[in-house]
Structure 1
Amino acid sequence: MTPSGPQEPELSAPPADPGGLTLKPFDVRLFRESSETTVAKLEKHLADLSLKGLSLTEPAVLSRAARALMTTEREHIAGYDEDRLAAIIDLYVKTGIQVHSPGYMGRQFSSTVPLAGVIDFVSSVVNQPSSFYEAGQLPNVVEKIMADELNRFIGWPADSFAMVTTSGGSLANLTAMLAARNDRFPGFWSEGSAAYLGQARPAIAVGDDVHYSVSRTAGVMGIGEAQIVRLPLNAAQQIDMDAVRPALDAAERRGLGVFCLVASAGTTSVGAFDPIDRLAEVARERDIWLHVDGAHGASLLVSDQLRHRLKGIELADSLTWDAHKMMFTPAPCTLLFYREKDKSRRAFRQRASYVFDEDPDVYTAMDSGGKTIECTKRPMIMPLWVVWAMYGRALFAEKIEYLCRLTRDVHRVLQAEPDFETTHYPESNILCFRYRPGWVREEDVHRLQVTVRDRVKSRGTFFISKVDVAGVAALRVVMMNHLITEEHFRMLLDEIRAVGEELCGNRQNDQQRVGGRR
C-alpha cells in the first residue's frame, strides 16, 4: 500500500502565450536542470581548499571570452545549452576574488556561510522586494526580529529603537547623517541651505582615518568637504580625545555648526576602534548627534570576549553594521540602527501616493520605504536571519573570535621576524605591517611595499592589500576566512621574501649594468 501524504506537483511545460509562443526559458523543468548544474559547480568550488589569490585577466581578453559564450541566435529564443551555462559559471567563479580560499587575506568581503548563499538564491527566484510589507512580508517581519536579537548586544530599551536595512555601509552612513542633519536643521530638507544663511554652517566631525563614504556624504548632502572637521589620531590610530574639544572649539570659531560626530568601530585601514564612551560624553555636552560607523567592527558585539571594543555603544544615536563583513552573509546586507525610533523617519520626507498609504494600518507600519533611499530593495535580511535561526549566535561569535585571535597570533609571528615590522597592535582581524629587509633604503620603504603587494598579487597564490599608515605604505591582511591558519600566514611571508629576493637581484643587476657602462 502506498503511503499517503503530500505529493509533489507534476512538472509540466509552461502554457503558450496568446500569440502561440512557448517561453521555454520559464519552463520549471529547466529551472531544476540549470540549478543542479549550478549547485554541482559551486560544490566543487567550495570543496577546493587550495591557495588562490587573485588572477587578473585583461578586460579585453575577458570580454572576448564572455562574448564567445553568448548565443549567436538573433531571431528566435535559443535552446537551453547546459555546456554553455557550465562554462559561464566556471568563468564567473575563477575571475573574481576567491573569498573561500586560505590565500584570500586582502579585503573585508567575507567568505560566506553556504546556507546564506542558498537563501540568497531563493530570494532571487521569488523576487520579493522588501521596502514594503505587502511585497515582502516575511523579510519585513524578520527584519524586526533580527533588530530585536542584535539590540540585545547594543543595549537600547526594547520599545524605543529602530533598525532598517540598506544596500551597503556607505548608504547607511549617508542615511544616518541625513537624519542627523534634519534633526538639527529641520528646514534644510524643504528649503535647503538658504534657510540658514547667516547662521553657523552645517558641519560634521570625523576621525582623520574615517571611511571615504563619510567624506563623500558631505558632498552628496551639499555640506561640502570644507565643512568636515577632521579630528587628529593617536598612536593607536584612534581619535585622540585630547584633541577633540580643541578641534570643535576651533570649528566653532570658523563659523561651523557641527551637528554630527562620526566615530569608527573598526576603521578600514587598521581596524581601530574609537573611544565611543568618551566621544559620547563630548557629543552630549555639545548637543551633537553621535553616529558610529561600525560597518566592520560592530559584529564584535555578538562576542562576549570582544564586545568591550565597543564600550559605550548604547550612548550612540545611530550605528552602521555590515552583516556582509563579519557576519559572513552575501553582500550587500547592512543594518542601520537608531537609538530613538522617531528619528529614523527624519532622513527622508516626501509623499508618493503610489507607495505611501493614506491610512496607515498594522501592515504599513512594517514598511521601511519611508526610512531608506531605496524604493526597491533586496530582502537582504533573509540570509542573515536564516543562518541565525538555524545555528544561533555561537556560530558567528566563534568564527569572529577565531579570526581576531589568529590576527593577534600572526602579529606575534611578525614581531619575531627581523625583516618585518608591524604598524599597530590589532584590535580586530585587520593587521598592517611592512617588509623591511636590510638592503632597502629608508626612502624606498614606501615604494617597496607597493611593489611587493603588486608582485604577490600577480603571482596568484595570495591576495593581500595595502594602505598608507602615517603617510607610508604598509601591507595589509584582513582575516575573513576561518580556514586560514598561522601556517598559511608564514607561507605568505615566504612569498613576500621571495618577491624581495627577486627585487634585490634585479636592483643589483641594474647597478652592475650601470657600472659596466661607466
Structure 2
Amino acid sequence: MTEYRSENPFGVRPDGTEPFSAHAGATSSPPRATGTLESGLLLEAFDAQLFREQSETVVAKLEKHLADFSIRGLDLTDPAILVDAARALMTTEREQIAAFDENRLAAIVDLYIKTGIQVHSPGYMGRQFSGVVPLSGVIDFVSSVVNQPSSFYEAAQLPNVAEKIMAEELNAFIGWDPGSFAMVTTSGGSLANLTALLSARNRAFPGYWSEGGSALTGQLRPAIAVGDDVHYSVARAAGVLGIGDAQIVRLPLNERHQICVERARPVLDAAERRGLRVFCLVASAGTTPVGAFDPLDELAGLARERDLWLHVDGAHGASLLVSDELRHKLRGIEKVDSLTWDAHKMMFTPAPCTLLFYRNRENSLGAFRQQASYVFDEEPDIYTALDSGEKNFECTKRPMIMPLWALWAIHGRALFAQKIEYLCRLTGDVHRILEGEPDFETLHRPEANILCFRYRPPGLRDEDVHDFQVEIRNRIKFEGNFFISKVNVGEFAALRVVMMNHQVTSEHFRMLLGEIRRVGQDLLRQTHQSR
C-alpha cells in the first residue's frame, strides 16, 4: 500500500478523502466475519451509541460528586454488608448475555463513589493521594477506551512522544544535561524505587544479573543506606534484590527528621567493618511520616566521597520543583543519580503515574538485561528509539503519562505550582494555629503539606499518650466527618494531616480541632469512670 503523506497527516486529503485508506474500493463499513453471532447483545455491548449513553449516565453522577463541597470523611461499611450490596447489583443471568440496564449502572456508580475516601471533600486530610484535576480523569477515560499499552512506540505513538516531551519539560527543573538524561514511567513509586535500585546494584556488581549471588564470592555483601524514615517500599525493594534487612544500613536523623550527614559517616564506616559494601544511598524528598526533605546537596558530596549511587525517593516532594517559591527544598537535586517522582500525588493526576529519572541515560538501561525477540527489535530505528520496554519492568503498561501531559499542554506549569504553593502555605497556617492551642503539641515545623501533632489535654497521663492518639484517630474516622491518618513520631503515635485539597481552609482545620477535642474529652471521661 502506498502511504499518503502531507503536512497534516492526521487530517483529510486536499480532495476530501481520508488518509491511510488507499485500498481500492475501501468503504467506511467494517468487514464482516464469515461466521455469525448468536446474539445481537454481543454487538450491543460494543455499540458506539450505547457507549455515549452510558458515558452520559456516569458523567452526570461524577458532576454531582465534584460539585459536592460538604464536609465528609470516610463512611466505613461492614465488608459483609458491602459484599451483599455489590452482589445485589449483579445480573442473575448465567447462560446468555444480559441486556444493558441503565439503572444497574447508575447504582454501581453510586455505590463506588459512596464507599471510597472522599478526596474532593474539605473533610479529607488523611493521605498523600489527591483528588485529580477533573480534566486528567477525562484523559484517563480516553486511555481506558482506546487501550494503547505504552511500553512500545508502535502500540502507543502519542503516549511515547508525550513521555519524551514531559521528560524534557520536567528536567528543566531538575537541571541535568538535556542530551544525557533519561526518564521512564512506572506504575507507582514502589516500582520506580525497585527499578532504580536494580540499576544501582547492576552497576556496582556487574555479574549479579547473570550469575546471581555466586558472582559475589570473596566480595563484601551488597548493602544500601537509607534514612531511618525511608518509605517501606525501599526495604521491600531490597528484599526483592536479595538484600536482607541486615544489609539495610539505617542512617540517623537530626531534629528536623532529615538524614544527619555527619552522623552518617561513622555508621557507614561501621557497616564496612561488618563486611558490607554499601553501593547505594537512598534519600527522601518529602518523607511519608512528616514530609521532611533530606539535605541532597550534602548527601551528594558524601556519595561522591564513597562512590555511592544516590537515589532520591521524591514520590511526594519532587513536585515542589515546578514552584519558584518552593524548589529550593530540593537544592542539589542536579547532583543525584536517579529520582522517583509521583505525578499522582502532588501533580494531581489519576494513579498510578510515576516518573523515574536518571542523570545518566546509560544507567536507565542497566536495570534489566534481557533479549526477547517478540518485543525487542534487532535493528533500532527512529520509532523504537522511543520504546521503554527495555527500561521498565512492565511489558503491558498504561499510558499513564497522558493525563499529566494533557494538563501541562492545556494549562501549563502554573496550574500545578499554584495549587502546591497554596497547600504548603495552608499547612504552615494550621501549624501556627496549633502553636496557639495549649492543649495541642506540635512535633515539627512542616516543610511542605504534611503536619503531625498530638492532642495533650490536662489530665492525660504520659503512659496513655500513644493509645489516646490512636483511639482519637479511629473515632474520628468512624464518625465520618473528617479523614485523618496517624503515624508514630519517636516513641508515640501522632495525628497526621496531609493537605492535598485546595478546597480545605484553615477554618476547616479549626473544625477538625473541635472534633478532636470533643472526642478526646469523651475518651478521658470514659477512662476516669473506669478507674
**Aligned residue runs from structure 1 range 110-189, under 5 A:** 110-189=130-209
The SS at the match of 1:85 is helix
User: Which letter does structure 1 place at the counterpart of 2:314?
Assistant: G
Taking the TM superposition and a 5 Å limit, the aligned residue runs for 1:18-37 are 18-21=35-38, 22=40, 23=42, 24-37=44-57
What CA distance in whole angstroms lies between the structure 2 residues aligned with 1:176 and 1:235? Answer: 29
Q: Specify the alignment match of 1:514 in structure 2.
A: none
Match of 2:94 in 1: 74
What residue number does 1:256 align with? 276
Q: For 2:495, which of 475, 478, 483 is the aligned residue?
A: 475
- CA shift digits 1:298-347 (9 cap, x unpaired): 00000001000000000000000000000000000000000000110000
Retained in 2: the 8 A contact 1:300–1:306? yes
**2:4 aligns to what?**
none
Query: Hey, what's the Cα distance between the residues in 2 that align with 1:331 and 1:468?
Result: 26
Alpha-carbon distance change, 14 to 502 in structure 1, aligned in 2, over 3 angstroms: farther
Equivalent in the alignment of 2:327: 307
Q: Match for residue 368 of structure 1? A: 388
Q: CA deviation at 1:81?
A: 0.4
Which residue of 1 is the match for residue 433 of structure 2? 413
Alignment check: 8 A CA contact 1:34 1:82 kept? yes
Aligned residue for 1:318? Answer: 338
| Number of residues of Structure 1 aligned to a counterpart in Structure 2 | 504
- What secondary structure, in the 3-state scheme, does the structure 2 residue paired with 1:250 have? helix
Matched, 1:213 2:247: no
Q: Distance in 1 between matches of 2:120 and 2:105?
A: 22
State the match for 1:495 in structure 2: 515
Matched, 1:463 2:483: yes
C-alpha separation in 2, matches of 1:492 and 1:299: 27
Shift in Å at residue 13 of structure 1? 12
**Equivalent position of 1:42 in the other structure:** 62
Q: Is the 8 A contact 1:233 1:240 kept in 2?
A: yes
Q: How does the TM-score come out when normalised to structure 1?
A: 0.96
Residues 495 and 283 (structure 1 numbering): CA distance in 2 closer, same or farther, change over 3 Å? same
Aligned to 1:235: 255
Aligned to 2:451: 431
Within the candidate set 396, 402, 414, 1:382 is matched to 402
Residues 364-399 of structure 1: per-residue CA shift (max 9 Å, x gap): 110000000000000000000000000000010000
Q: Which of 303, 314, 318 is the equivalent residue of 1:283? A: 303
Asked whether the equivalents of residues 12 and 28 of structure 1 are also in contact (C-alpha less than 8 Å), the reply is no
Match of 1:271 among 273, 276, 291: 291
- Determine if contact 1:14/1:26 at 8 Å carries over to the other structure: no
Deviations 1:137-173 (A, max 9, x none): 0000010000000000000011010000000000000
- Aligned counterpart, 1:515: none
The match for 1:395 is 415
Distance 2:524 2:297 in 1: 48
- Pair 14,55 (structure 1): closer, same or farther in 2 beyond 3 Å: farther
Moved more, 12-21 or 329-338: 12-21
Deviation at 1:27, TM superposition (A): 1.1
List per-residue Cα deviations over 1:35-64 (Å, max 9, x = no partner): 000000000000000011011111111111
Deviation at 1:20, TM superposition (A): 3.0
Give secondary structure in 2 for the equivalent of 1:205. strand
Cα gap change, 1:57/1:16 in structure 2, threshold over 3 Å: closer, same or farther? farther
Structure 1: runs of 5+ lacking an equivalent: 512-518
Tell me how far 1:19 sits from its aligned partner. 2.7
Choose from 355, 360, 377 the match for 2:375. 355
SS at match of 1:273: coil
SS of corresponding position for 1:206: strand
Q: Which amino acid aligns with 1:166?
A: T
| Cα gap change, 1:88 to 1:190, in 2 (>3 Å) | same
Instruction: Give distance in 2, aligned partners of 1:491 and 1:321.
Output: 33
1:240 deviates by 1.0
Per-residue deviation at 1:111? Answer: 1.1
Please give the alpha-carbon distance, in whole angstroms, between the structure 1 residues aligned to 2:33 and 2:78: 44
Return the alpha-carbon distance in structure 2 between the equivalents of residues 12 and 139 of structure 1.
28
SS of equivalent to 2:522: helix
Distance in 1 between residues matched to 2:106 and 2:30, nearest whole Å: 23
- Deviation for aligned residue 1:16: 8.1
Question: What is the aligned-residue identity percentage?
Answer: 74
Take 2:312 and 2:406, find their aligned partners in 1: how far apart are those partners? 26
Distance (whole Å) between structure 1 residues aligned to residue 171 and residue 348 of structure 2: 19
Distance in 1 separating the partners of 2:215 and 2:203 = 14
Equivalent position SS for 2:390 = helix
Query: For the residues of structure 2 that align with 1:307 and 1:397, how far apart are their CA atoms?
Result: 10
CA distance in 2 between counterparts of 1:118 and 1:13 reads 28
Q: Is the 8 A contact 1:13 1:29 kept in 2?
A: no
Distance in 1 between residues matched to 2:266 and 2:276, nearest whole Å: 14
The answer to whether the 8 A contact 1:13-1:27 is kept is no
> Matched residue of 1:216: which SS?
helix
Give the secondary-structure state (helix, strand or coil) at the position aligned to 2:340: strand
Deviations 1:192-216 (A, max 9, x none): 1111111111100000010000011
CA apart distance, 1:6: 11
Distance 2:34 2:47 in 1: 13
* Deviation at residue 17 of structure 1 after TM alignment: 7.7
Contact 1:420 1:433 in 2 (8 A): yes
1:86 — aligned with what?
106
Give the CA deviation at 1:501: 1.9
* CA deviation vs aligned residue, 1:164-198 (integer Å, no higher than 9, x gap): 00000000000000000001111000001111111
Q: Which runs of 5+ in 2 are unaligned?
A: 1-15, 19-27
Match of 2:465 in 1: 445
Contact 1:407–1:430 (Cα < 8 Å) also in 2: yes
CA RMSD in angstroms comes to 1.6
Q: 1: distance between equivalents of 2:449 and 2:515?
A: 21
In structure 2, the CA distance between the partners of 1:480 and 1:368, relative to structure 1 (3 Å rule), is same
Residue type of the alignment partner of 1:31:
F
Task: Tell me the alpha carbon deviations over residues 476-513 of structure 1, each in whole angstroms, 9 at most, x when there is no partner.
Answer: 000000000000000000000110121122123323xx
The one-character-per-residue Cα deviations of 1:389-430 (angstroms, maximum 9, x if unpaired) are 000000100000000000000000000001101110000000
The residue matched to 1:390 in structure 2 has which SS? helix
